[in-house]
Amino acid sequence: MTTVTPDSLSSTRPEVVGLSPWAWAKKNLFSDWFNSLLTVVLVTILGWLIFRLANWALTTAQWQVIPNNVGLFMTGTYPSSLYARVWALLAMICLLAGLSWGVLSRNLSTLFSRNVLIGIGAICAFIVLFPPTRPSSLKLLPMVAMVAGMAAIGRQAGRQRPGIGKWVSLLWFLSYFVALWLIGGGLGLTPVSTNDWGGLMLTLLAAVSGIALCFPLGLMLALGRRSALPVVRWLSTAYIEVVRGVPLVAFLFMGQVLIPLFLPAGTRPDRILRAIIALALFSAAYLAENVRAGLQAVPRGQREAAMSLGLNTPTTLGLIILPQALKIAIPAIVGQFISLFQDTTLLAIVGLAELLGIGRSILANPSYLGRYAEVYLFLGVIYWFFCYAMSLASRKIEDKLNTDER
């Protein structure tokens, strides 16, 4: 069955009546004496702050620390002779991202609408003009072209084969292992010790691995806590409550120390692996609470209806309860993923050179002494970009899955 989305519906929205700038200002800024006073005070303070900031950014700040260390920020101390592998990794991600974009938007009439074209143009302009990307802009521009090209292909493929979404998911899953192979080497590539993994690459790798590990674990804990079986319920509740009472730093740092102690003498998992495990074990407890909230929001009648249809517990959960619960819990789950992404900064404290850690070691270099504001602002922009993109994506998914007539 094909669903027809009436295009006319979206275009019948009432037109917004534009106010003249003067009327707008009077309504929103100077509606009464208190508002006017507030506006004047705020404009003064903000103006002064912005002036000081712009003054600092344009005269005092020494931004060379960013372009001089782009390689470090992106990949840490990864050997520069092997950068081709990182580029290959980026190309793979771009191809897949383009493909998914095309497949997801296969129902749109025009893929490259005006806004998308403007966006692509802005990205290209940014790549050419922004100093840190300039040395490699020749490689970055084809990446953008690849995303756009794959999007067009993906849209065609998606139209011809409606079931292609599953294959794209499988490709993403496989790409994780290809990525590990490209970064770490082995199987014909020069091995790179995990000590040399770093920068944004390590941040993203840790975040993705952490998310992939903590999601199933959190799901199991949430189901366990809601289970009718007392042993399972008590164990899950105890785990969740204890982990939620401990600060993550303590968990990570002691994880570095305690995990080797808990394993047979001589086995010592890799530092990065230990950190990712600690991160996932920690986030799973919080995720479990988010999923539990979703489970509680599913009406009791759903379970009873499923039971009376003769479904057993696993099928009731898998086919009836979880799909509804997860849909409700999506905003909270993505929120938890965002905080997991932010929590990867704590790996810097246990001595890993992820984005913040590499920033600190660059600041320890005598030639960049005191460039704190520049480096931390740059890192802040990167983190903000990724977190904001995730919350934007969550809102899109939420809209798409929102089948209620609310």
Q: Which of 88, 122, 174, 258 binds other proteins (CB under 8 A)?
A: 258
Q: Should residue 229 be labelled a site residue for other proteins when binding is judged by CB under 8 A?
A: yes
The position carrying tokens 């989305």 is 5
DSSP β-bridge partners for residue 186: 189
Q: Should residue 257 be labelled a site residue for other proteins when binding is judged by CB under 8 A?
A: yes
> Rounded distance, CA 222 to CA 294, Å?
10
Q: Taking the CB of residue 287, how many other CB atoms lie within 10 A of it?
A: 28
Q: Should residue 43 be labelled a site residue for other proteins when binding is judged by CB under 8 A?
A: yes
The packing angle between helices 271-297 and 322-343, to 10°, is 140
Q: Fill in the per-residue mask, 116 to 155: x = in contact with other proteins (CB under 8 A), - = not in contact.
A: ----------------------------------------
* Cβ within 8 Å of residue 317, ≥6 positions away: 223
Q: Should residue 391 be labelled a site residue for other proteins when binding is judged by CB under 8 A?
A: yes
CB of 147 to other proteins, least distance (A): 23
CB of 160 to other proteins, least distance (A): 39
Contact, 76 vs 358, CB < 8 A? yes
CB of 158 to other proteins, least distance (A): 31
Choose between 126 and 372: whose C-beta lies nearer to other proteins.
372
CB of 309 to other proteins, least distance (A): 15
Choose between 40 and 189: whose C-beta lies nearer to other proteins.
40
Nearest to 210 by CA among 347, 54, 394: 347
The packing angle between helices 164-184 and 137-160, to 10°, is 150
Q: Should residue 16 be labelled a site residue for other proteins when binding is judged by CB under 8 A?
A: no
Q: Should residue 261 be labelled a site residue for other proteins when binding is judged by CB under 8 A?
A: yes
Q: Should residue 248 be labelled a site residue for other proteins when binding is judged by CB under 8 A?
A: yes
Q: Should residue 376 be labelled a site residue for other proteins when binding is judged by CB under 8 A?
A: yes
Q: Should residue 311 be labelled a site residue for other proteins when binding is judged by CB under 8 A?
A: no
Q: Should residue 249 be labelled a site residue for other proteins when binding is judged by CB under 8 A?
A: yes
Contact, 340 vs 214, CB < 8 A? yes
Q: Which of 380, 395, 396, 402 binds other proteins (CB under 8 A)?
A: 380
Q: Should residue 50 be labelled a site residue for other proteins when binding is judged by CB under 8 A?
A: no
**Residues composing the chain:** 406
CB of 168 to other proteins, least distance (A): 28
Distances, alpha carbon 389 to alpha carbons 198, 276, 337, in Å = 22, 22, 12
The position carrying tokens 């929120």 is 335
CA angle 96, 129, 53 (to 5 degrees): 110
Choose between 91 and 363: whose C-beta lies nearer to other proteins.
363
Q: Which of 242, 305, 309, 401 binds other proteins (CB under 8 A)?
A: 242
> Rounded distance, CA 60 to CA 180, Å?
41
> Rounded distance, CA 175 to CA 169, Å?
10
Q: Should residue 384 be labelled a site residue for other proteins when binding is judged by CB under 8 A?
A: yes
Q: Should residue 189 be labelled a site residue for other proteins when binding is judged by CB under 8 A?
A: no
Radius of gyration of the chain (CA): 25
Q: Fill in the per-residue mask, 61 to 100: x = in contact with other proteins (CB under 8 A), - = not in contact.
A: ----------------------------------------
Q: Should residue 53 be labelled a site residue for other proteins when binding is judged by CB under 8 A?
A: no
> Rounded distance, CA 19 to CA 14, Å?
15
In the chain, what are the helix, strand and coil shares in percent, each to the nearest 5? 80, 0, 20
Q: Taking the CB of residue 243, how many other CB atoms lie within 10 A of it?
A: 18
Q: Taking the CB of residue 209, how many other CB atoms lie within 10 A of it?
A: 20
Residue 189: helix, strand or coil by DSSP?
A: strand
Q: Fill in the per-residue mask, 333 to 372: x = in contact with other proteins (CB under 8 A), - = not in contact.
A: -----x---xxxxx-xx------x---x--x--------x
**Contact residues for other proteins (CB under 8 A)?**
28-29, 31, 35, 38-39, 42-43, 46, 228-232, 235, 242, 244-250, 253-254, 257-258, 261-265, 312-313, 338, 342-346, 348-349, 356, 360, 363, 372-373, 376-377, 379-380, 383-384, 387-388, 391
